[in-house]
């Protein structure tokens, strides 16, 4: 209170804080007559009031959102579908690939059984729901609230809205827009028109939008010719074509078969496929192989496949978005080097004649050339992508053999060895000597290593030559396997594996942790082998291999995750390995490669069972790996290389890869 000029008093106006406290007092909050925590616990009346207020606010917001959200006039990007264009490293065009196929068909041309295959799989209540599923919305809201994504629970009407009006982003705002537009669209369009639109705009993989082009892509026929079994498979693709195309991988096929069978059973359950007819469909309707574009001939197809795989794993672009086209992919591949590598392989394999010699059947050559910063500049995947889609430069089942031993040498130099039970480790130098004789017992700190056959494992040189006491550097230079086998055991195979993965070999390519691990039972691709050796020439710095420099869509850049360099080895260790590999070319097991020019470093690789031949090396500018193997692509079982090209049994399996490597490196420039 304060004095008033007229002699009375006047009540002072309360401030904002006072007004707020006054309102709370009317609500009896904090509650009078209570003490402690109970004073702050709301009453049932207060809780109901709060809930009613929240519900009113939510209702008001949803009403406002419904009124203000309109069905868009513009469709999304279908009218601007284009090819994806791939470019060589110099910016010239390499290939135009991935034309999107979409062809609208009236719903009447889609067999009713195929329509119901889709409905049974995606939205069996389609003809009775209001365009949305309230139970599905509940699930979506629960996922939002629990921190999950907003996918799932969408009706066909909602999916159609997403296809033609919205993007594929998953967030609350887009989900709400999808629901509102779906309800309004359901009031504006007939169910038949919505279903027809959905079937004509959905992505089925293989660049196909719409069920008509999907029928052609997978079965080579019009949609009107599909039976219920084929329709059930196409319906399965709607869950994610990249995960259900059975021609991509065995895992995909298993998923596709399970989903196909489930959809047929669902059709029976909803009364749209007689059980007697369902019983006829016991064999999965295998789709035809993916047709290869004529623009993918020669080496281009291998390059495009590798670049596309890199884009899909190192950007946020989905496979469906990529198939819409309009992307410009600038690759790392250098056309002159690709041509030179192809020419080197063709020259080296000119005597291979599968019609004349059994030993020449199923011969495969793979090669890759990688720059010090990880750029894959050249690739040889096979004689022609249209004839052999399997990329021999990116294999996962060919053992690297003795070309792995420089990695063991690097691990020993960097981490030392343990020969005693007490766990102490001793340093290793290039001059450290080992027993180089053939047939020496392989030892552990506890004693001899016993194999599963109950016998002590012994070293095995190739050929079975005794070298006596030999330094580790000489063992690398002369490709003496015995000392490297024992070195691997002394270092610890787990530590050797860590060095190998630090140098870029993939964990799933690692071989069994037994003594033969040190002499190459792992199965890296030629790409990964070349990349690993690049670190020996680069002071121990390693960068994972990559095939794309940048990507844009209609000129606008798209974020691309490129690898960063890491110090995998110390410069001293890398320099010591480099010295040994250069010595191998000068006077050792790799001296045939000296013809490529000065400064060459490299190592041949063979396996004891003669199933693989390698040469991996570098020239100060490029690191290149070449692999030779024989395999029937039906079962991928490796066959003996003895006698390939009419060679004598004594010819090492690394001879042809060495010839390819030497010819190629000579063509692209000498060393430093």
Higher pLDDT, 576 or 241: 576
**Nearest-angstrom CA–CA distance, 660 and 248:** 31
Nearest Cα neighbor of 295 from 304, 287, 286, 285 is 304
Structure confidence by residue, pLDDT tens digits, 286-312:
999 887 776 889 999 999 999 999 999
DSSP string of 514-571? SGGGGGT-----HHHHHHHHHHHHTTTEE---B-EEEEEETTEEE-------EE-S-H
Confidence band of 192 (pLDDT split at 50, 70, 90): very high
Structure tokens that stand for 435 in this block: 């027993």
Q: Averaged over 345-361, what is the pLDDT?
A: 95
The pLDDT assigned to 38 comes to 65
Q: Which two tokens stand for residue 278?
A: 């369902």
Residue owning tokens 């990249």: 242
Q: What are φ and ψ of residue 602, in 5° steps?
A: 180, 175
Mean pLDDT of 148-172: 63
Distance of CA 70 to the CA centre of its chain: 39
Q: How far apart are alpha carbons 571 and 577 in whole angstroms? A: 10
pLDDT band at 601 (very low <50, low <70, confident <90, very high): very high
CA pair distance 75, 164, nearest whole angstrom: 5
Share of the chain above pLDDT 70, in %: 82
The residue-averaged pLDDT of 523-529 equals: 98
Band of pLDDT at residue 672, cut at 50, 70 and 90? very low
Is 368:381 a contact under the CB 8 Å cutoff? Answer: no
- pLDDT at residue 152 greater than cutoff 60: no
pLDDT (average), residues 211-228: 92
User: CA 247 to CA 268: how far, in whole Å?
Assistant: 27
Answer for the pair 218, 234: CB distance below 8 angstroms, yes or no.
yes
- 266, 124 in Cβ contact below 8 A? yes
Using 50, 70 and 90 to split pLDDT, how confident is the model at 446? very high
Question: 401-522: which CATH architecture?
Answer: 3-Layer(aba) Sandwich (3.40)
Dihedral pair phi/psi, residue 56, rounded to 5°: -65, -40
Report the alpha-carbon distance of residue 29 to residue 19 in Å, rounded: 14
Average confidence (pLDDT) over 373-395:
95
pLDDT score recorded for residue 48: 75
On whether the CB atoms of residues 116 and 269 are closer than 8 A, the answer is: no
Nearest CA among 349, 352, 369, 237 for reference residue 665:
369
- Which of these ranges, 347-356, 371-380, 416-425, has the smallest mean pLDDT? 416-425
Question: What's residue 28's pLDDT?
Answer: 63
Q: Give me the residues paired with residue 566 across strands.
A: 542
Structure confidence at residue 531 (pLDDT): 98
- Answer whether residue 173 shows pLDDT above 90: no
Strand 556-558 versus strand 363-370 pairing type:
unpaired
Q: Is the pLDDT of residue 147 over 60?
A: no
CATH match of 331-400+525-672 with 3.40.710.10 = yes
Residue 225 has pLDDT above 70, yes or no: yes
Strand residue runs (E) in 485-588: 541-542, 548-553, 556-558, 566-567
99-278 CATH: 1.10.3810.10
d(CA 541, CA 563): 12
What percentage of the chain carries pLDDT values higher than 90? Answer: 64
Integer Cα distance of 154 and 129 in angstroms: 12
Q: Are the C-beta atoms of 87 and 551 separated by less than 8 Å?
A: no
> Which part of the chain is CATH 1.10.3810.10?
99-278
Give me the pLDDT at residue 258, please. Answer: 95
Of the candidates 184, 208, 203, 205, the residue with the CA atom closest to the CA atom of residue 194: 184
The mean pLDDT of 129-155, rounded to a whole number, is 60
Q: What confidence score (pLDDT) does residue 30 get? A: 66
Q: Which residue has the higher pLDDT, 323 or 141?
A: 323
Q: Write the pLDDT tens digit of every residue in 274-289.
A: 999 999 999 999 999 8
Q: Which pLDDT score, from 0 to 100, does residue 313 have? A: 94
Ranges assigned E (strand) in 607-660: 613-618, 623-631, 638-639
Residues of the chain with CATH 3.40.710.10: 331-400+525-672, 401-522
pLDDT at residue 207, as a whole number = 78
Can you give the three-state secondary structure of 33-80, one letter per residue? Answer: CCCHHHHHCCCHHHHHHHHHHHHHHHHHHHHHHHHHCCCCCCCCHHHH
Position 168 confidence tier, pLDDT thresholds 50, 70, 90: very low
- Tell me how far the alpha carbon of residue 411 is from its chain's centroid: 28
Task: For the chain, report the end-to-end CA distance as a whole number of angstroms.
Answer: 96
**pLDDT classification of 79: cutoffs 50, 70, 90:** very low
């Amino acid at each position: 209170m304060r004095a008033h000029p007229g002699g009375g008093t006047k009540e002072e106006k309360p401030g904002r804080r006072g007004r707020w406290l006054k309102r709370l007092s009317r609500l009896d909050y904090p509650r009078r007559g209570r003490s402690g925590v109970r004073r702050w616990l709301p009453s049932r009346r207060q809780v109901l009031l709060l809930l009613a207020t929240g519900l009113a606010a939510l209702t008001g917001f949803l009403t406002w959102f419904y009124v203000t959200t309109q069905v868009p006039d513009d469709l999304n990007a279908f009218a601007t579908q284009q090819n994806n264009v791939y470019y060589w490293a110099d910016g010239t065009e390499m290939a135009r690939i991935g034309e999107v196929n979409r062809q609208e068909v009236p719903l009447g041309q889609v067999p009713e059984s195929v329509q119901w295959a889709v409905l049974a799989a995606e939205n069996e209540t389609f003809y009775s729901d209001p365009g949305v599923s309230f139970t599905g919305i509940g699930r979506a809201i629960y996922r939002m609230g629990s921190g999950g994504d907003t996918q799932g629970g969408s009706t066909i009407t909602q999916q159609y809205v997403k296809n033609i009006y919205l993007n594929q982003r998953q967030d609350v705002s887009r989900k709400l827009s999808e629901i509102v537009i779906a309800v309004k669209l359901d009031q504006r369009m007939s169910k038949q028109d919505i279903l027809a639109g959905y079937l004509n705009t959905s992505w089925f993989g293989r660049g196909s939008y719409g069920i008509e082009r999907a029928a052609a892509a997978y079965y080579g026929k019009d949609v009107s010719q599909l039976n219920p079994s084929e329709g059930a498979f196409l319906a399965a693709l709607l869950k994610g074509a990249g995960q259900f195309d059975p021609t991509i991988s065995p895992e995909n096929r298993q998923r596709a078969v399970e989903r196909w069978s489930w959809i047929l059973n669902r059709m029976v359950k909803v009364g749209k496929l007689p059980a007697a007819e369902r019983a006829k469909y016991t064999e999965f309707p295998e789709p035809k192989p993916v047709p290869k574009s004529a623009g993918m001939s020669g080496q281009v197809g291998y390059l495009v496949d590798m670049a596309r795989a890199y884009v899909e794993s190192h950007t946020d672009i989905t496979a469906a978005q990529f198939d819409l086209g309009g992307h410009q992919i600038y690759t790392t591949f250098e056309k002159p080097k690709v041509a030179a590598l192809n020419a080197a392989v063709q020259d080296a394999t000119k005597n291979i004649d599968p019609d004349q010699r059994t030993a020449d059947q199923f011969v495969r050559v793979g090669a890759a050339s990688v720059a010090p910063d990880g750029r894959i500049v050249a690739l040889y995947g096979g004689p022609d992508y249209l004839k052999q889609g399997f990329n021999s430069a990116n294999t996962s089942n060919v053992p690297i053999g003795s070309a792995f031993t420089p990695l063991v040498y690097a691990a020993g130099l960097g981490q030392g060895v343990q020969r005693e039970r007490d766990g102490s480790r001793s340093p290793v130098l290039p001059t450290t000597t080992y027993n180089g004789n053939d047939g020496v017992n392989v030892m552990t700190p506890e004693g001899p290593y016993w194999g599963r056959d109950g016998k002590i494992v012994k070293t095995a040189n190739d050929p079975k030559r005794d070298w006596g006491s030999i330094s580790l550097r000489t063992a690398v230079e002369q490709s003496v396997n015995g000392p490297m086998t024992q070195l691997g055991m002394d270092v610890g195979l787990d530590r050797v594996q860590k060095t190998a993965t630090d140098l870029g070999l993939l964990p799933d390519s690692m071989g069994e942790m037994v003594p033969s691990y040190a002499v190459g039972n792992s199965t890296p691709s030629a790409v990964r082998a070349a990349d690993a050796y690049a670190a020996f020439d680069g002071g121990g710095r390693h960068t994972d291999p990559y095939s794309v420099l940048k990507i844009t869509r209609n000129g606008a850049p798209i974020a691309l995750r490129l690898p960063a360099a890491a110090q995998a080895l110390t410069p001293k260790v890398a320099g010591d390995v480099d010295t040994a590999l250069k010595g191998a070319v000068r006077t050792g097991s790799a001296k045939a490669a000296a013809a490529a020019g000065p400064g060459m470093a490299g190592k041949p690789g063979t396996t004891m069972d003669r199933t693989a031949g390698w040469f991996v090396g570098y020239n100060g500018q490029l690191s290149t790996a070449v692999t030779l193997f024989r395999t029937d692509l039906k079962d991928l079982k490796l066959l003996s290389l003895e006698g390939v090209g009419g060679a004598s049994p004594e010819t090492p399996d690394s001879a042809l890869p060495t010839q390819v490597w030497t010819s190629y490196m000579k063509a692209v420039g000498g060393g430093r």
